[in-house]
Structure 1
Amino acid sequence: MKDELGISGRITRTFLTSEITPLLALVAFLLGAFAVFVTPREEEPQINVTFANIFIAYPGASAREVEELVSTPAEQKISELEGLKHVYSVSRPGMSVLTVQFEVGVDRTQAIVRLYNAIYSNQDWFPPNMGVGQPIIKPKGIDDVPIVTLTLWTEDEARGAYELGQVAHSIEAELKRVKGTRNIYTVGAPEQVVHVQFDPVAMAGYKLSIDDLRSALQSNNIRQTTGPLVRNNESITMQVGQFFSTAKEVENLVVGLHKNRPVFLRDIARVSRGADQPEQYAWLGTGPAAAQKGIHTQGEFPSVTLAIAKQPGTNAVNIARQVIDRVEELKGVFIPQGINVTVTRNYGKTANAKAQQLIGKLVFATAFVVLLVFFALGKRESLIVGIAVVITLSATLFASWAWGFTLNRVSLFALIFSIGILVDDAIVIVENIHRHMQKGDKSLLESIPAAVDEVGGPTILATFTVIAALLPMAFVSGLMGPYMSPIPINASMGMFISLLIAIIVTPWMANKILPRHHVTVTEGHDGKFYHWFEGFITPFLNGRNGALKRRMLALVILALIVLSVGLVAVKLVVLKMLPFDNKSEFQVVVDMPEGTPLEQSARVLSELGRYLSTVPEVTDYQVYVGDASPINFNGLIRQYYLRKGGHVGDIQVNLADKSARHRKSHEIAFSVRHRLEEIGKKFNAIVKVVEIPPGPPVMAPLVAEIYGLDYQGQISIAREIGEVFRQTTGVVDVDDSIENNAQKIIIKIDQQRAAMLGVSRQQVVSLVNAALTGDDVSYLHSEDTKFPLPVRLELSEANKSNLDTLLSMKVRGQNGNLVALSSVISLEKTVIENAIYHKDLQPVVFVTGDFAGGVDSPLYGMFDIMGTLSGKPLSTINKPISQLLVTQPDNPYEYSLKWDGEWQITYETFRDMGIAYGVGLILIYLLVVAQFKSYLVPLIIMAPIPLTVIGVLPGHALWGTQFTATSMIGMIALAGIIVRNSILLVDFINQQVEDGVAFEEAIIRSGVVRAKPIILTGLAAMLGAFFILDDPIFSGLAVSLIFGILISTVLTLIVIPILYYALMYKRFT
């Protein structure tokens, strides 16, 4: 046996009696305690995804003009940006909306600065007098998602949304004083306006035109400070003019003379200050579980909602708590009696609850691992392992905070998942010290460095092999990369820290805690196990005589691997990106046919709401018609915040706490979908039940992008593919980007007739716009309002719907005569043009859907649709359409279909994880080659890696769990864990042979002596995984670890000795 200590033995000897060792342990513990208190808490990890919307108006232009003259040039300039992922555009009549999405991880500030430079330094793509408006850039990111929403509602019939909105606006500034808040806004509140609803008949009687009213309002709402008046050695500031400050002043404005008498505005118009004409409606409804939120009334009530976002890197828990406390203080001050405030979103509360729950699981997992060591090695040894784990976790928490991670569900799950492997180093070290002490031939101070040194080399190597397996996962691209990155990074940092603790602190504790002398053990229990193991494995070791048995064992294992993989093919194991989580909310998104009035949409959503009010788990719901609800991360990525207009709406449904209901949110959403769709069909509405995705969201679970030369041809193909979607079993929520033909009336101006009467086109356009849309000709200067208060010229609502009234209105010709509008125009009925969509500079039509079939994975719905389309000629092109899974179409002049949605993120994630897996295996191989100085031995050591499949896939089938991205993480982690066991076995065999033990005997001894630490570390990892088994998202990771370790640990103890013997016995004999 070698007498010289290796690096691990020397480090242990240095710190074994050093006074600094306990201080290092104490510092690590205190740093962990510090991290727990200062690390910001939130429910999900921060994903640094930057994108922006660019709005460019081109009034009066057709959709095709907007596409050619605005959208396409802008896309070409934007596409040159560094770090760009996608650029989308929607060209509608009069407006282009571009969406610029940068790669995940691109610095937000740099990205937005580049975008501004690209847009504003290239504005010469259109002439200055062409009429294209100034581009408006609106950056968006994860911190734009509100963490708290407060819904103000009232049972007082005398109050409505207008009064609620005034209260909400009054408390916005108060809430902004809460440190850490970012964007605060109110949804559903109508704005204040001074309505000037003119009477065309009265105006004609007084011989006044709309231009006269506009001129009078603008020229009389003026005030200016002039130069000072110097008098009596004093400079006096002079101010001339007067602003309108009340509606009464506007009403009393003189707008003309008739028969030498002044004509007041009140003579020809109804002037009032109040709510703007409704462009959106919002109300709150209660459900059967409303009492859980302190709501003790049933029905639907007018409401507005305050949305509060937080600043980047701040603690969601603290900010949410402070905001809600501040609202309580404002009751009776800014919030009058009779107005109720209900917290309808509190991500701070859910983040804190999840953090507390996971910290509890972390404590229990640690306790059970210590208990395992207690039964296996003894109470003193378990105490050592327990202290080592606590110090390791403390230091890892500090390292996680220093790295920039928040305390969220993924980072905490990373620690729980890691608990089983963080304890491995300590268990191996303590078990070997325990074994050496049982020999009884050395003192404790002599035994500890020798024991650590014996397993130190393989322990260091094994630790780095686990890190090599995990760390490449940190480089997964796309949204999934930063979402899951806390797992490989925290686990890798934890493994490295655990190694340091194991060879520095653990031996010091062993010296202080273990008894000075152990009872010498020679055979005992290990003797029985030795004889059993010898009897089992010897037939496989008899040189050439055992070759047949070795081949039979290899065939059995190969057959088990094939059968395990076959479970995927027969759908006993279902592939999915991530399973649904059990949330406390879901959303109902409603699209009425284009052109549907706001009031009709409100009736439809009211009927949907009344059904939701009967669902037992619903506490409350908020209905938004004509506007979007406060966005969540899913709505941010899907850009629900851009949904505006009378034909759109959504319902935010809040559920009872998870502990107070039996059904999960996914079950509830599934159960209500059919009835909601039935209600929607009665009104030709598309109703989609949108659940909060468990991970990074996508545009829709199923997305088919249709490309081709002719946009009308793309639309026709998209309609055919949409029908295939609808006919595919399990596919629901089918929609597309094709807009229905809404009616449009074109007012054509007879240029020759208008010129003869002295009427310009500008006058006609201005008159029609003021009459129907309203013209904000001036503003009221009032100190009691937060927002600008426009003075709006418009027709009354009754007159707006009367075409004859519009045609009878008059404009003033150049000769001063009034000319009826009907004398210079004609009407033409047509339909509104379809919007034109682009993705990455190519015209595209989207077909979207979701999947609610038996396997509950959109991938299988996509495969079914692909199978149907591959054998179905489309009528538009008389052949099956070309389908692409990975690449964008090469030929833009050929019709093709590119699959996106959940498939794309699944492909990218599993592709990158597969690459990470491969890189990890290469790194493991290189590490083992460096240690054992052999090319063959590392292959033997890595041989058990495929054996994990025998446990992982059948485990998913038995447990009924989908194989997800977290399952893949478990498989990758298993590679490092299993290799660790192999290293311990092979290293011990080599040590025994060096000590003169016969090769066959060394093989048997390795299985016997190393069985205990291998089984102990395996059980520890399985115990840690048991505590995440009940989580919907991470259950796949738990199943992979539990079943993978269970099967592969047993097989490793058999396969490695046999395989090492088979390939190395000639060399050793």
Structure 2
Amino acid sequence: MSTPLGLSGRIAAAFQRNALTPLIALVLLLAGVFATLVTPKEEEPQIDVTMANVIVPFPGASAQDVEALVARPAEQVLSRMAGVEHVYSVSRPGMSIITVQFEVGIPNQTALVRLYDTVHSNSDWLSPQLGVGEPLIKPKGIDDVPIVSLTLWTADPERAAFELQQVARASELELKRLPGTRDVTTIGGPGRVIRVQLDTERMNAHGVTAQDLRAALQLANASQPAGSLVRDNREVLVQTGTYLESAEDVRRLVVGVFDDKPVFLRDVAQVEDGPDQPSSYVWFGTGASGSAAGSGVFPAVTLSISKKPGANAADVADAAIKRIESLRGSLVPDGVEVTVTRNYGQTANDKAQKLIGKLAFATAAVVALVFFALGRREAIIVGIAVSLTLAATLFASWAWGFTLNRVSLFALIFSIGILVDDAIVVVENIHRWHTLEPDTPLWKLIPKAVDEVGGPTILATFTVIAALLPMAFVTGLMGPYMSPIPINASMGMFISLAVAFIVTPWLAQKLMKSVDAHHHEGEDKLTRKLDGLFRRIMTPMLDVNHGGRARMRLWLLVVVLIAGSVALPVVQLVVMKMLPFDNKSEFQVVLDMPVGTPVEETARVLREIGAELATVEEVTDWQAYAGSASPINFNGLVRQYYLRSAPEQGDIQVNLVDKAHRSRQSHEIAVSVRDAVTAIALRNGGNAKIVEVPPGPPVMSPIVAEIYGPDYAGQIEVAKRVRAAFEGTKDIVGVDDSVDEAAPKLLLRVDQAKAARMGVSQVDIVEVVRLGLSGENVTPVHGGDNKYEIPVRIQLPATRQSDVASLLSMKVRSRSGQLVAVSEVVDVFDTRREQILYRKDLLPVVYVTGDMGGKLDSPLYGMFDIRSKLRDMALDGAPGLAGTLGEWFIRAPADPYAGYQLKWDGEWQITYETFRDMGLAYAVGLILIYLLVVAQFHSYLVPLIIMAPIPLTLIGVMPGHALFGAQFTATSMIGMIALAGIIVRNSILLVDFVNQQVREGVDFSEAVIRAAAVRAKPIGLTGLAAMIGAIFILDDPIFNGLALSLIFGVFVSTVLTLVVIPVLYFAAMRKRLAQLTGESE
């Protein structure tokens, strides 16, 4: 009586001659084609991280008042929202910016609804009498990052930034009309403004004040429908008043009466229609490898274009570039050049095309492996099975909501080696049975062959899924960034199992019609060689009487190898890092000049740095932004670079020639220019940092020390000492802190007694000085086809704004109507600007930041080197400081007011959280694997034996990284986690075969040897397949660690598993042989 078929055998029997089977295969293939065409292409995964700035103006208030009356209450209100991860605030004179960072994964719309509801339902936290303005909420998310930057520049000396800005603004609407575009913004160039430049002497002579001019402009610029009347049996609409429509209308405006004659505005001020006084500068510079027409440095503006959620970055970018090209000669006149200075759509498309090509090559390589190992027909079957699995996995990935990005595609390439396992095991066993029983009809033989390996194949597949899937629950920014790997790989494994049981038997029925006698003879020869090899190796260890000593030597060897591998990171032969730098085509120089530096000086230093960068061989072009933020990337979004608009702030975007045309990686180039760039900044009193696009989730800075304590002045003093420790540590670069340099401030204090006697209010004095110095956009002009408002601005001429005497000569009108000079009622004092106050999670904080250079190039090692200088640092020598500096790693100090304490943040925090969560995922995966194997073998001991080779992966992983000089990164850890499932799969196949042989009456020791010899081929094939798939990602800087883990881990652990598992199983179970029963399907 034949043994009944199990689940896998019954599935194979049902589909091997079923007419639906080829239709199922066709549907899977078409689904994959569909997914490839419709899935949006992006370079990086879209992480749902929502941040929002709540900007609260408090005109005239000191930084201390802003913090006490605005920031603290606002933080308490905002921090109580569900899903808030951090609340930051920056309090400066006159304004507070409270930043709310929501937990990763909370939908953008949900987060913003909560925020708006919380802010507006708690608007009573501030008293109306305080003079605090209405909170302005500015949300930021991943979709605010521009995917395309178009820099407009000109070498025409007749044109300047103002004309370029007008061209850019005229082009905005055309670009916004494109499907998928979200925001189109012009950066740089002075806007158009009608300037009313006050002539204080003529104003005084005609008896008018700046406030009179402001009131006249506002009152004259009014128009409104008054209603209608009936005339000649027709309704006639009545409009009262007209708007100011031009500079000439402004000039003709009557602003007062003097000597019974009207005083026109042109009599007391000069009115000009033209570019505003520049508050920022943008330049375009060519580099050594530039292809732009002309060379040098040119005025420029930049158009930045972001896309809507879900839109295809490649399509939006391509359409935007084509549209701007079509505007040449019309909206973009001759002489205005347009250079694409960012194209994330192209990089996304290029990366997708390259990785899809690698996917095809990896599949072909695996098929070639099967061809040489099993034969032509078997290779065709495996190739079709893998192609269908990949097609279905692409469709499942699209349905899940993933885009085609580097991580999701790398997940498929990495998965090739494990997706092919099921097909290889099934095809190899059908091939083996067909070789052993060539006269048996295939339709009878296939279900039995599938059934023999079906049980362990199902179990092995679910063990791999159990190892990978828990990684999908990693928290923080790293979780969603890497989630395509566990999710896509797990879905692919499940699909591959279904294809192996449904489509593979049908293909075998159609293609494996005969057996090649010559190939059969070669296989017999290989089997005999393997049998002889394992017999020589294992026989001494399987001897009942004397095998114990041989086995002990084997265990000792394994322990020594594992201990040696673990020691490699300890002696720094393997360096630990979150993620290595990617080979990008851009980097950034961020410049901070001393507080109070005028924007013109910042621009001069940027040009000097740009001239140095232009000499670098790989630089194609660069764009400098002084007093204005450049188009942000994801790193700039998290670091809030979009707020960098102070006169002393600037940055340079550096574009490199495509990596296919240069020998140096972008990180090497960035490091090579660091010394020269920082030297230029230091020589001019500034601080310049090289900022590279991070390979994964960005942080505030690679190394961050947060200083907490009972007194902010004391925190600043401690921060200075910590900064000194940073600067005194070898290979620490880019050191900075949040302490502002002392900068001058002029205080005009109103003499209340004099003002009262003269009938002048302090409010009038404050207003007139602000009007003269900062100016005020008092009203707009109307008419024309202008997208942006054209304001009428009252202000002193630029040449007189730096003259204190001109400010003091301005006059205000007293209650009696007399004009009183400001100089008569104010006293002038030289003071210092107030320190900007920072808070994080309801606590005052001072930041010290830095980065790690040098050979190790890992911030973790730099942080621990700094610690050695800070350990037990005595806080003495300054007023109010005593004791030692406390230190925290994981969370903020429990009692921040007990003394001054330091909390480490930056890459350390995200590394800790990532490896903590991955370690937990690894542990959960091992528990799930154990439970699955217990359920299959009905034993608590056998699963431990099957899982014993998991530590063997270390013997391959760590030496492999050391051999290639590679850092052990988060992707390396992913490879180790995947290895757990792969190696357990091999163990299951070995143990299951031993049990089958024992049930057939074979001696236990003989069964152990046969298991190693017979299963060596499928195990070797699946191992080689995994290694081949990994080879195709070996050249990627980020996923290099994953590839090394798989290649060396699979190779070493597979070789050792073929010996260690059978011997270990023999040693543990030989005394319980009588209890062995059939556990497999």
TM-score, structure 1 normalization: 0.99
What are structure 2's unaligned runs of at least 5 residues? 1075-1081
1:619 aligns with 2:616: no
CA shift digits 1:845-890 (9 cap, x unpaired): 0100111121010000001011111143233534441111112110
Q: Name 2:15's counterpart in structure 1.
A: 15
Look up the equivalent residue of 2:196 and give its one-letter code. Answer: V
1:528-539 aligned within 5 A? 528-539=529-540
What is the distance in 1 between the residues matched to 2:540 and 2:218? Answer: 104
User: 1:724-783, CA deviations, whole angstroms, 9 ceiling, x for partnerless residues?
Assistant: 001111110101111111111111111121111111111101100000000222111131
Kindly state the Cα deviation for residue 643 of structure 1 after the two structures are TM-superposed.
0.7
Q: Which residue of 2 aligns with 1:712?
A: 713
The 2-side partners of 1:11 and 1:1000 are apart by: 34
What residue in structure 1 maps to residue 414 of structure 2? 417
The whole-number CA distance in structure 1 between the counterparts of 2:497 and 2:977 is 20
Q: How does 1:442-453 map to 2 (within 5 A)?
A: 442-453=440-451
Q: Does the 8 Å contact 2:769/2:810 carry over to 1?
A: no
* Counterpart in the other structure of 1:357: 354
Structure 2 CA distance for aligned equivalents of residues 454 and 362 of structure 1: 31
- Could you report, residue by residue, the CA deviation over 1:42-72 in whole angstroms, capped at 9, with x for unpaired residues? 0000100011001001111111111111000
Query: Structure 2: how far apart are the matches of 1:357 and 1:895?
Result: 52
* Structure 1 stretch displaced more, 684-693 or 252-261: 252-261
Task: Identify which range, 232-241 or 516-525, moves more after superposition.
Answer: 516-525
Q: Which is worse superposed, 487-496 or 113-122?
A: 113-122
Which residue of structure 1 aligns with residue 464 of structure 2?
466
Following superposition, the deviation at residue 231 of structure 1 comes to 2.2
SS at match of 1:222: coil
Q: CA deviation at 1:273?
A: 0.8
Report the Cα distance in structure 1 between the residues aligned to 2:142 and 2:515, rounded to whole angstroms: 60
In structure 1, how many angstroms separate the alpha carbons of the residues matched to 2:2 and 2:1033? 44
Does the alignment pair 1:305 with 2:302?
yes
In the other structure, the counterpart of 2:973 is: 968
Residue of structure 1 in register with 2:584 after alignment: 583
CA distance in 1, matches of 2:1040, 2:788: 50
Please report the RMSD computed on the Cα atoms of aligned residues, expressed in angstroms: 1.1
Q: Which residue in the other structure is 2:1078 paired with?
A: none
Moved more, 806-815 or 925-934: 806-815
1:1026 and 2:1031 matched: yes
**SS at 1:239's partner residue?**
strand
**Partner in structure 1 of residue 159 of structure 2:** 159
Tell me, yes or no, if structure 1 residue 999 matches structure 2 residue 1004: yes
Q: Quick one: distance in 2 between partners of 1:220 and 1:414? A: 66
Post-superposition shift, 1:443? 2.0
1:951-990 equivalences under 5 Å are 951-990=956-995
Q: Kindly state the Cα deviation for residue 190 of structure 1 after the two structures are TM-superposed.
A: 1.3
Per the alignment, residue 915 of structure 2 pairs with 910
Structure 1 stretches of 5 or more lacking a match?
none
* Residue 437 (str. 1) matches residue 434 (str. 2): yes
SS in 2 for 1:834: coil
Q: Please give the alpha-carbon distance, in whole angstroms, between the structure 2 residues aligned to 1:748 and 1:526.
A: 98
CA distance in 2: counterparts of 1:92 and 1:222, whole angstroms: 37
Q: Which amino acid aligns with 1:672?
A: V
Are 1:883 and 2:907 counterparts? no
Report the Cα offset of residue 810 of structure 1: 1.2
Show the counterpart of 2:686.
685
Q: Tell me how far apart the structure 1 counterparts of residues 53 and 657 of structure 2 sit (CA, whole Å).
A: 36
Give me the whole-angstrom Cα distance separating, in 1, the residues matched to 2:361 and 2:809: 81
Letter in 2 for 1:486: P
How far is 1:814 from its partner?
A: 1.1
Cross-structure match for 2:479:
481
Judge conservation of contact 2:286–2:620 (CA < 8 Å) in 1. yes
The equivalent residue for 2:141 is 141
Q: Is 1:93 aligned with 2:90?
A: no
Aligned to 1:547: 548
Question: What pairs up with 1:821-900 in 2 under 5 angstroms?
Answer: 821-875=822-876, 876=878, 877-893=881-897, 894-900=899-905
Q: Which amino acid is 1:553 matched to?
A: L
Native 8 Å contact 1:720 1:874 kept in 2 = no
The residue type equivalent to 1:719 in the other structure is K
> Which position in structure 1 is the counterpart of 2:611?
610
Letter of the aligned partner of 1:949 in structure 2?
L
Aligned to 2:755: 754
Q: Is the 8 A contact 2:624 2:652 kept in 1?
A: yes
Partners of 2:306 and 2:806 in 1: CA distance: 47
> What is the rounded CA distance, in whole Å, between the counterparts of 1:113 and 1:941 in structure 2?
51
Aligned to 1:79: 79
Contact 2:639 2:700 survives alignment (8 Å):
yes
2:512 partner amino acid: L
After superposition, give the CA deviation of every residue in 1:166-206 in whole Å (9 maximum; x if it has no partner). 00000100000100000110001211111000110111111
Contact kept? 2:780, 2:792, Cα under 8 Å: yes
Contact 1:443-1:516 at 8 Å conserved across structures: no
Partner of 2:1077: none
**1:333 CA drift (Å):** 1.2
State the SS of the aligned residue for 2:338. strand
Aligned equivalents of 1:751, 1:942: Cα separation in 2:
85
Q: C-alpha separation between the residues in 2 aligned to 1:912 and 1:257?
A: 77
CA displacement at 1:442 relative to structure 2: 2.3
**Structure 1 residue 517 displacement after superposition:** 4.8
Conserved 8 A contact 2:285-2:295: yes
More displaced 10-residue stretch of structure 1: 209-218 or 510-519: 510-519
Equivalent residue letter for 1:697: P
Q: Which amino acid aligns with 1:508?
A: W
1:509 maps to: 507
Task: Give the match for residue 1068 of structure 2.
Answer: 1063
Between 1:510-519 and 1:846-855, the stretch displaced more is 510-519
Equivalent residue, structure 2, for 1:645: 646
- Cα distance between partner residues in 2 of 1:597 and 1:1040: 53
Report the Cα offset of residue 296 of structure 1: 3.1
For 1:64 and 1:982, the matched residues in 2 are separated by 67
- Please, which of 1016, 1020, 1023 is the counterpart of residue 1015 of structure 1? 1020
Distance 1:636 1:126 in 2: 30
Whole-Å Cα distance in 1 between the matches of residues 259 and 852 of structure 2?
Answer: 74
Question: 1:444, 1:517 within 8 Å by CA — same for their partners in 2?
Answer: no
- 2:135 matches 1:131: no
Match of residue 35 from structure 2: 35
Residue in 2 that maps onto 1:940: 945
For residue 809 of structure 1, what is the aligned residue in structure 2? 810
What SS class does the counterpart of residue 129 from structure 1 fall into? helix
Once residues 518 and 934 of structure 1 are traced to their aligned partners in structure 2, the CA distance between those partners, rounded to angstroms, is: 42
1:696 correspondence with 2:697: yes
Q: Distance in 2 between matches of 1:784 and 1:374?
A: 70
Give aligned-pair identity as a percent: 61
Q: Write the mapping of 1:711-790 to structure 2, written as runs, cut at 5 A.
A: 711-790=712-791
1:287-436, aligned counterparts within 5 Å?
A: 287-291=287-291, 295-436=292-433
Greater Cα offset, 735-744 or 1006-1015: 735-744
Q: How many residues align?
A: 1066
Distance, in Å, in 2 between the alignment partners of 1:132 and 1:821 is 26
Deviation at 1:919, TM superposition (A): 0.2
| C-alpha contact 2:872 2:885 (8 A) present in aligned 1 | no
Q: Which amino acid aligns with 1:378?
A: G
- The code of the aligned residue for 1:1004 comes to I
Which of 453, 456, 466 in structure 2 is aligned with 1:455? Answer: 453
What secondary structure is seen at the aligned counterpart in 1 of 2:128?
Answer: coil
Q: C-alpha separation between the residues in 2 aligned to 1:308 and 1:458?
A: 53
**Distance in 2, Cα, partners of 1:516 & 1:670:** 62
The CA deviation at 1:518 is 5.7
- CA distance in structure 2 between the partners assigned to 1:856 and 1:213 by the alignment: 61
Q: 8 Å contact 2:582–2:1038 — kept in the other structure?
A: yes
Instruction: Indicate conservation of the 8 Å contact 2:189/2:278, yes or no.
Output: no
Query: CA contact under 8 A between 1:437 and 1:518: conserved in structure 2?
Result: no
TM value normalised by structure 2 = 0.98
**Residues 431-452 of structure 1, C-alpha deviations (whole Å, 9 max, x = no match):** 0011101112622111111110
